[in-house]
Amino acid sequence: MKPIFAWASAAVLSFSAAFPAAAETLRLAGNFPVEHSSSLAMERFAEAVADKTGGALTVATFPAMQLGGAKENVDQVRSGVVFGTWIGSAYLSRTVTELEAVSLPFAYPDRETAFRVIDGAAGELLEEKLAERGFVALGWMELGSRNVTNSVRPIETVEDFEGLKIRLQPNETHLATFRAVGANPVSMGISEVYSALQQGVLDGQENPFAIIASRNFNEVQTYLSDSGHFFDYIVLVANKRKFDRLPEDQQNAVREAAAEAIAWQRETAAAEDDASRQALIDAGMTFTPLNDETRAALRERSQSVIAELKERIGTDLIDLVLEEAAAK
């Protein structure tokens, strides 16, 4: 007769084989709509993580502000309530002020330049700063070139910005830029913008074409520009403590899955940007492209913003960004 403890051990082993340990679930929160390319990319990320870890890790995504707005999502990641978030980098700039260095006004002539900067030495330095604040950067997606809409007048000259009450993200460089060109910027959460535009509390807002379309701002705005004053990134970040506790093979799987999803999103976002602009025009918005003279005047007006930012966060990172942006 087997000793009781031997029988019990065998039973436990048999039970464990029949019922493997439950997979660990990583929760990701986001404030982008379900149909946005970044949210779709995170679904691809979730599938890839499960596949690469043999189901040992699963990812649950919560887009469209299901777990709160951008500020709440940042706080949730910092505290470890959720594993990670995909978020416009401006919303992290209050925690990691150095992120403002890649939000310089009129710095990038195209998306290729913007990604050359963030994928290079400047991006590496920012990832170090994020790590110091408790975040692991898993990659940078495209939010895109930001463009002004309003219901007062077409934007054709610098003077057309004068006095416009325009909603911006909570990024001091963004706000300072619009003050410099004569507008009246207002920091406001994205969930409040539609009703504020509808009620006339705001004259306008600025976002990439895809966000303008997905948020239906064309319903409450008349004029559309291609000001492209900032290029905005979506950064995928995780809580560093939670990430570091994962076994090395799972960390590698998460990074590989993120890289694949982000590559897909960047390609998709480029096509989405062009299609969204045309959709807004087709929906009845009046589109006025800025000429080279106006762009040059706006760039000149905003130089003081770069000088002020150098005083706040130092010159080295900003000079690096400008140098890499100007490289051919």
Instruction: Encode 79-124 in three state secondary structure.
Output: HCCCCEEEEEHHHHCCCCHHHHHHCCCCCCCCHHHHHHHHCCHHHH
| Predicted confidence (pLDDT) at residue 4 exceeds the cutoff of 50 | no
Q: Which residues contact 250 (CB under 8 A, 6 or more apart)?
A: 53, 56, 57
User: How far is 25 from 59, CA to CA, in rounded Å?
Assistant: 5
In this prediction, residue 257 carries a pLDDT of 98
Span of 1-5, 112-116, 191-195, 320-324 with lowest mean pLDDT: 1-5
Three-state secondary structure call for residue 67:
coil
- Residue 20 clears pLDDT 50, i.e. is over it: no
Mean of the pLDDT values across residues 227-243?
97
Three-class SS state of 274: helix
Residue 264 lies in a domain: yes
Q: How confident is the model at residue 61 (pLDDT cuts 50, 70, 90)?
A: very high
Domain count, the chain: 1
CATH number of the domain within which 302 lies: 3.40.190.170
Give the whole-angstrom CA distance, residue 229 versus residue 104.
9
Q: Using CA atoms, how far apart are residues 99 and 137, in angstroms rounded to an integer?
A: 12
Rg (CA), the chain: 23
Q: Is residue 212 part of a domain?
A: yes
Residue type, 325: A
Show the tokens assigned to 231.
Answer: 């290029």
pLDDT tens by residue, 144-156? 999 999 999 999 9
190 in a domain, yes or no?
yes
Average pLDDT over residues 122-137: 98
User: 135 pLDDT band (50/70/90 cuts)?
Assistant: very high
pLDDT, position 130 = 98
pLDDT digits (tens, 9 = 90+) for 271-293: 999 999 999 999 999 999 999 99
Q: Give yes or no for a contact between 149 and 226, defined as CB atoms under 8 angstroms apart.
A: no
Categorize the per-residue pLDDT at 18 as very low, low, confident or very high, splitting at 50, 70 and 90. very low
- pLDDT at residue 21 in the model: 55
Range of the domain at 188: 21-326
Residue type, 206: E
The answer as to whether 59 is a domain residue is: yes
Q: Is 73 part of a structural domain of the chain?
A: yes
Report whether 100 contacts 313 (CB < 8 A).
Answer: yes
Kindly state the helix (H) or strand (E) to which residue 128 belongs, with its residue range. helix 121-132
Tell me the per-residue pLDDT of 298-316, one tens digit each, with 9 for 90 and over. Answer: 999 999 999 999 999 999 9
pLDDT at 328: 77
Residue 79 lies in a domain: yes
Supply the pTM of this predicted model.
0.88
Structural domain includes residue 7 = no
Domain annotation covers residue 3: no
SS3 226: coil
Please answer whether residues 24 and 47 qualify as being in contact, where contact means their C-beta atoms are separated by less than 8 angstroms. Answer: no
pLDDT above 70 as % of the chain: 93
First and final CA of the chain: distance in angstroms?
81
CB contact at 8 A, 232 and 208: yes
